[in-house]
Amino acid sequence: MSAEWRPALAASIVLRRDRVRDRDLLVMPERVVVLNAEAGRILRLCDGSRTADQIVGELAEDFPGAPVADDVGAFLDRVRDEGWLR
């Protein structure tokens, strides 16, 4: 994960809130992914306006002492590999 990368959802993907399930969903052509709370929170920050480092910093403030940089970095890399982030 590059520190200056500004992750944003791919153009064909929409992040939606399912009020019935109280969960975030990634809606893609012919596929829907139900996200856990942490994944939804991270992806909501991926709007192209923040760098990867800023996203990690914002989350680290809420979870002091947790390995946020490693966990969030690995998650962002995995989601990018799936083609969900650009």
Q: pLDDT tens across 37-79, in order?
A: 999 999 999 999 999 999 999 999 988 888 899 999 999 999 9
pLDDT at 62: 87
Q: List Cα–Cα distances, 19 to 14, 30, 54, 79, in angstroms.
A: 15, 21, 28, 24
pLDDT at 42: 97
**Domain 14-81 class in CATH:** mainly alpha
DSSP bridge pairs for 26: 15, 33
3 state SS of 69: helix
Task: Specify the higher pLDDT residue, 1 or 21.
Answer: 21
**Side chain identity at residue 2, one-letter code:** S
Q: In what order do the strands lie in the sheet with 14-18?
A: 14-18, 23-28, 31-34
pLDDT score of 1 more than 80:
no
Residues in the chain: 86
